[in-house]
Amino acid sequence: MPKVTEKVSQAAYNALVNIVGAQWVTDDAAITESYVKGGEIHDCIYQRGQQPPGVVVMPKDTAEVQKVVKVCFRYHLPYTPIGAFWGVHCGGKVPFHVSIDLSRMRGLEWDERHMAAIVEPGLIHSPLQAEAQERGLYTMTPGGGSQAAVIGNMLTCNYSPLNYRLGLATRRILGVEWVLPDGEVIRLGSLSNSDDPFWGEGPGPDLRGLLRGYLGWWGKVGIITKMAIKMHPLFLPERMKPVERGMLSTLEFPDNRIKWYNFRMPSEDSMRKAMREISRSEIGAAVMRVPTIWRYRGKSTSREDFWEKWGPDEKKIRDSRATSSILRVLIIGYTSAKQLEYEEGVLMQIMDEVGGELGRTKQSDQSWIKNADSAGMWWPAGGYVSVEFVVETLEHSFARGKTLLKEKEAKFTPPLVDEYGEEGWIQMTDMGHTSYFEFLIQWDPENPLGKYKSGEYKAWEHWVASQRTAIDNGQYTANIGSLSVMGLTGPAFGPNYGVIYDQVRQAVDPKDISNPPLDLHDRVINEFAPKWKEDYNFQTWTDLMHGGKEHWKVLTSRGYEWKDCLPEWYWDRDDKEIG
Partner 1 sequence: MIVSGSLELKDYMYEMRRCMRCASCKWLDHIYMPDNRFVYRCPSYAKYYFSKVAYGRLKLGLALCEDRLTDTPGMRDMVFQCLMCGACDSGCKRNLDLEVTNSLEALRGHMVEGGRFPQAHQKMIDDIAGSKNRYGAPAADRAKWAPVNAAAKSDTVYFVGCGASYQDQAIAKATDKILGALGGYMLMPGEQCCGHPLFALGHYDAFQKQMEVNMAAMQKTGAKRLVTACAECYKTWKVDYPRLRKISTSDLPFEVVHISELAAQGVKDGSLVLKNKLDLKVAWHDPCNLGRMSEPYRHWEGGRGKWGCLEPANKFGAKEFNRGTAGVYDQPRDLLAAIPGVQVLELKRHHEFSWCCGGHGGVPEAYPDLAAYAVDERLEEVKAVGAEAVVSGCPYCKGQFQAGMAGRDHQVQAFDITELIAQAL
Partner 2 sequence: MELKEKLLAIVGAGQAEDSPAVLAAYARDHSLVTAAGLPDAVVWPESAEQVHEIVKLANEIKMPLIPVSSQEHFHGSVLPKMGGIVVDLRRMNRVLDIDLPDRLARIEPGVTWGQMQQEMAKIGSRMVLPLLPLASSSVVTSLLEREVPTNPRFEYGEPMTSTEVIWGSGMRFRTGSASAPGFPEKADSKGGNPEGPGTNWYRFLQGAEGTMGIMTWAIVKFEYLPVMDQVCFITFDDLAQAVEPLYQIQRRMIGNECFLINRQVGALIFNDGTPGSYEALKRQLPPWFVAIVLSGPPRQPEKKLAYEKEALEEIAAAIPAVKRIDSTLAGAVGLEKKLPALLRAPWPAQRPYWKHALKGGCQDLFFIAKMDDAPAYTRTVFETAGLHGYDVNELGVYLQPIEQGRACHLEFQFYYDPASQAAKDKIKALYMEAAAKLFQQGAFFSRPYGLLSPMVFEKARGYTNTIAKVKDVLDPNHVMSPGNVCF
Residues of this chain, 424-463, that bind partner 2 according to CB under 8 A: 430-435
Contact partners, residue 76, CB within 8 Å, separation at least 6: 511, 513
d(CA 453, CA 456): 5
Vertex 164, ends 161 and 170: CA angle to 5°?
95
Which of residues 28, 30, 204, 448 is near partner 2 by CB under 8 A? Answer: 204
183 binds, among partner 1, partner 2, none (CB under 5 to 8 A by kind): none
Which of residues 288, 480, 518, 524 is near partner 2 by CB under 8 A? Answer: 480
Contact partners, residue 141, CB within 8 Å, separation at least 6: 125, 126, 129, 160, 367, 368, 369, 370, 371, 372
Which of residues 104, 114, 321, 563 is near partner 2 by CB under 8 A? Answer: 114
Query: Rounded to the nearest whole angstrom, what is the least distance from the CB of residue 455 to partner 1 in the complex?
Result: 10
Q: How far is CA 367 from CA 144, 146, 158, 387, 495, in A?
A: 11, 10, 14, 21, 37
Q: Name the one range near partner 2 by CB under 8 A: 243-251, 466-474, 524-532, 547-555.
A: 466-474
Which of residues 5, 103, 262, 393 is near partner 2 by CB under 8 A? Answer: 393
331 binds, among partner 2, partner 1, none (CB under 5 to 8 A by kind): none
348 binds, among partner 2, partner 1, none (CB under 5 to 8 A by kind): none
101 binds, among partner 2, partner 1, none (CB under 5 to 8 A by kind): partner 1
Query: Rounded to the nearest whole angstrom, what is the least distance from the CB of residue 32 to partner 2 in the complex?
Result: 30
By CB neighbour count within 10 A (0-12 exposed, 13-18 middle, 19+ buried), where does 457 fall? buried
Q: Interaction with partner 2 in 222-261: which residues (CB under 8 A)?
A: 230, 232-233
In this structure, the number of other CB atoms found within 10 A of the CB of residue 336 comes to 12
405 binds, among partner 2, partner 1, none (CB under 5 to 8 A by kind): none
Residue 312 binds to partner 2 (criterion: CB under 8 A):
no
- H or E segment and range at residue 138: strand 137-138
Query: Rounded to the nearest whole angstrom, what is the least distance from the CB of residue 184 to partner 2 in the complex?
Result: 6
Smaller CB separation from partner 1, 56 or 471: 56
Side-chain half-sphere exposure of 415, counting CA atoms within 13 A: 24
360 binds, among partner 1, partner 2, none (CB under 5 to 8 A by kind): none
Which of residues 216, 424, 455, 487 is near partner 2 by CB under 8 A? Answer: 216
Which of residues 311, 316, 500, 569 is near partner 2 by CB under 8 A? Answer: 500
By CB neighbour count within 10 A (0-12 exposed, 13-18 middle, 19+ buried), where does 567 fall? middle
State whether residue 240 is helix, strand or coil.
coil
Q: Name the one range near partner 2 by CB under 8 A: 3-11, 315-323, 334-342, 445-453.
A: 334-342
Smaller CB separation from partner 1, 84 or 471: 84
In this structure, the number of other CB atoms found within 10 A of the CB of residue 450 comes to 8
Of 312, 292, 309, 311, the closest CA to residue 300 belongs to 309
Length of the chain: 579
238 binds, among partner 1, partner 2, none (CB under 5 to 8 A by kind): none
